[in-house]
Amino acid sequence: MTVTPDYTEKIPNNVDLREDRRLQRALESWQPNFLTWWESMGPTLPTRDVYLRTAINVGREGWAHFAHVPMRDYRWGIFLAERDPGRIVGFGEHQGEPAWQQVPGEYRADLRRLIVIQGDTEPASVEQQRNLGATAPSLYDLRNLFQVNVEEGRHLWAMVYLLHAYFGREGREEAEELLHRNSGSVDSPRILGAFNEETPDWLSFYMFTYFTDRDGKYQLGTLKESAFDPLSRTCEFMLKEEAHHMMVGTTGVDRIVERTAQLMVQNDTDDVTGLGAIGLPVLQRYLNFHYSVSLDLFGGETSTNVANYYTAGLKGRWMEGRRRDDHKLADDGMLVDALVDGEIGQTQVASLTGLNTDLRREYIADCQSGVNRWNKILESAGLPQRLALPHIAFNRKVGAFAGIEATPAGELISAADWQQRNGEWLPTDVDKTYVRSLMQPVHERGKIAAWIAPPRNGINGQPFDYDYVHLA
């Protein structure tokens, strides 16, 4: 089942593209549009080359190749995890049947929609991050930004491959649209709210890769369970790359907390603003923002669409294989968050309709692990302050709590109180201006900005002071 990719091809792949001339031609005609998009919407900082990981295969013996690559020579490939010929559907009404190698007619529209929604997020984040190179705190961080960006570009390729290969003319039209919508555009914005927010500074970038990329991890995890095998295999491989994006976010925030804590202790002060670092209250407000907009990405607490996707086998649960139930859920119930008589509470629903809540809970538990990590850094520094995830009802625009206002502690407050007090909890203009004032580029080998600690490890065994990027 292994197809050896030919990396000298225009589109490196392990899907035997050469054998399917029609598909190859379709993708080759999409490619120039992608490259134009990358030129106009991708990273703005000119470089000679960047030390990048490139996916070249999917095997266990190593799937990536590290080298200094001029951006114009970078190749976005199409890679699906190896096919398991015996794979069966793990849940829903088709449980136990062989996984589908083609799209069943009755699920065509739904599967296409799921792929488009996932595909839309990938280029969006590249657009959101395009100006960050100019203010990178180190060459190591700059390299990671490029790495995340090229891989999001490849994830777009992954979804476009599925659209072209399995969804005919409508798929090709959707693939075009993925390049026409743009993050933050008034006329044709990206589909999901968080992907239209700005990522104007590196604190936002780390928070985004921690909280918003992590939403991606959970969405991919549910699509990896799909009965539609090419989608499953595509997402399985994307998850491998996502792990690095999570690492960038987790350790990025680690390093800011570490630096802030260090300066607080050294100077015996809570206010590190004058010392060129980011204070804990500002970090907490950025965290509150990125976490709450990412919670919205999971949709309403209940959804009959998602129930239908599950029953049909299109989209499973996180770690479906490890769940100890019948994987059909037809008779089960669960509690979901809700407004009950105007108060924040919970209500009983059918488990099938509560699947968004199930996924959001998995995500929240995962987010908490990062907060615990950051609090350990504060604790080891001997500081009493702690960071926290805000309440699930805080700053929500989607779902049961969209119509109310709540504090990070979960107290209901009036709209007027919210107007008056939200600056205590969300980044203020003063915060943003201050954070932006710290964003001075450090593009010198082995050096790092004053507001962040250097990483413990470099990339691929290289030291921190490696020449990760050669600027133009």
DSSP reduced 3-state for 263: helix
Residue closer to Fe ion, measured from CB, 210 or 289 = 210
How many C-beta neighbours within 10 Å does residue 452 have?
Answer: 26
How many C-beta neighbours within 10 Å does residue 278 have?
Answer: 24
Residue closer to Fe ion, measured from CB, 112 or 154 = 154
> Among 22-30, 190-198, 238-246, 264-272, which window interacts with Fe ion (CB under 5 A)?
238-246
Q: How far is the CB of 250 from Fe ion (least distance, A)?
A: 13
**Quick check: 213 binds Fe ion (CB under 5 A)?**
yes
Q: How far is the CB of 365 from Fe ion (least distance, A)?
A: 20
> Among 208-216, 342-350, 401-409, 463-471, which window interacts with Fe ion (CB under 5 A)?
208-216
Q: How far is the CB of 333 from Fe ion (least distance, A)?
A: 34
Q: How far is the CB of 52 from Fe ion (least distance, A)?
A: 15
Q: How far is the CB of 435 from Fe ion (least distance, A)?
A: 22
> Among 69-77, 241-249, 346-354, 356-364, which window interacts with Fe ion (CB under 5 A)?
241-249
Query: For Fe ion, what does the binding mask look like between residues 121 and 160, x meaning CB under 5 A?
Result: -x-----------------------------x--x-----
Q: How far is the CB of 64 from Fe ion (least distance, A)?
A: 15
Query: For Fe ion, what does the binding mask look like between residues 38 and 77, x meaning CB under 5 A?
Result: ----------------------------------------
Residue closer to Fe ion, measured from CB, 155 or 181 = 155
Instruction: List C-alpha distances in Å: 320 to 91, 115, 222, 361, 462.
Output: 8, 19, 8, 14, 37
* Contacts (CB under 5 A) with Fe ion, residues 336-395: none
> Among 75-83, 194-202, 212-220, 368-376, which window interacts with Fe ion (CB under 5 A)?
212-220
Q: What is the rounded CA–CA span in Å between residue 52 and residue 47?
A: 13
Q: How far is the CB of 242 from Fe ion (least distance, A)?
A: 5
> Among 78-86, 239-247, 263-271, 353-361, which window interacts with Fe ion (CB under 5 A)?
239-247
Q: What is the rounded CA–CA span in Å between residue 23 and residue 4?
A: 18
Q: How far is the CB of 154 from Fe ion (least distance, A)?
A: 8
Contact partners, residue 237, CB within 8 Å, separation at least 6: 55, 58, 63, 79, 80, 81, 158
What number of chain residues touch Fe ion (CB under 5 A)?
6
Residue closer to Fe ion, measured from CB, 119 or 313 = 119
Calculated CA dihedral for residues 167, 169, 174, 176, nearest 10 degrees: 130
Q: What is the rounded CA–CA span in Å between residue 142 and residue 38?
A: 17
Q: How far is the CB of 19 from Fe ion (least distance, A)?
A: 27
DSSP reduced 3-state for 268: coil
Q: How far is the CB of 232 from Fe ion (least distance, A)?
A: 16
Residue closer to Fe ion, measured from CB, 242 or 358 = 242
> Among 64-72, 117-125, 127-135, 359-367, which window interacts with Fe ion (CB under 5 A)?
117-125
Q: How far is the CB of 117 from Fe ion (least distance, A)?
A: 13
Q: What is the rounded CA–CA span in Å between residue 38 and residue 45?
A: 12
Residue closer to Fe ion, measured from CB, 166 or 208 = 208
Residue closer to Fe ion, measured from CB, 119 or 390 = 119
Judged by CB under 5 A, which of 154, 233, 245, 255 binds Fe ion? 245
Q: What is the rounded CA–CA span in Å between residue 190 and residue 123?
A: 9
Q: What is the rounded CA–CA span in Å between residue 449 and residue 257?
A: 14
Residue closer to Fe ion, measured from CB, 182 or 260 = 182
Q: How far is the CB of 214 from Fe ion (least distance, A)?
A: 9
Question: What letters, b where the CB count within 10 A reaches 16 and e where it falls short, cover 356-384?
Answer: bbbbbbbbeeebeebbeebbebbeebebe
How many C-beta neighbours within 10 Å does residue 245 have?
Answer: 24
Residue closer to Fe ion, measured from CB, 218 or 394 = 218
Residue count of the chain:
472
> Among 18-26, 210-218, 377-385, 454-462, which window interacts with Fe ion (CB under 5 A)?
210-218
Q: What is the rounded CA–CA span in Å between residue 378 and residue 78?
A: 42
Q: What is the rounded CA–CA span in Å between residue 224 and residue 237?
A: 9
Residue closer to Fe ion, measured from CB, 24 or 144 = 144
Residue closer to Fe ion, measured from CB, 128 or 138 = 128
Residue 239, both tokens = 């998850």
Q: Are 92 and 327 in contact (CB under 8 A)?
A: yes
Residue 35 CB-half CA count within 13 A: 14
Q: What is the rounded CA–CA span in Å between residue 336 and residue 354?
A: 7
Q: Are 257 and 283 in contact (CB under 8 A)?
A: yes
Q: Are 154 and 77 in contact (CB under 8 A)?
A: yes
Residue closer to Fe ion, measured from CB, 214 or 317 = 214
Q: What is the rounded CA–CA span in Å between residue 268 and residue 256?
A: 18
> Among 4-12, 89-97, 242-250, 366-374, which window interacts with Fe ion (CB under 5 A)?
242-250
Query: Could you report how far apart the first and last alpha carbons of the chain are, in Å?
Result: 42
Q: Residues interacting with Fe ion, by CB under 5 A?
A: 122, 152, 155, 213, 242, 245
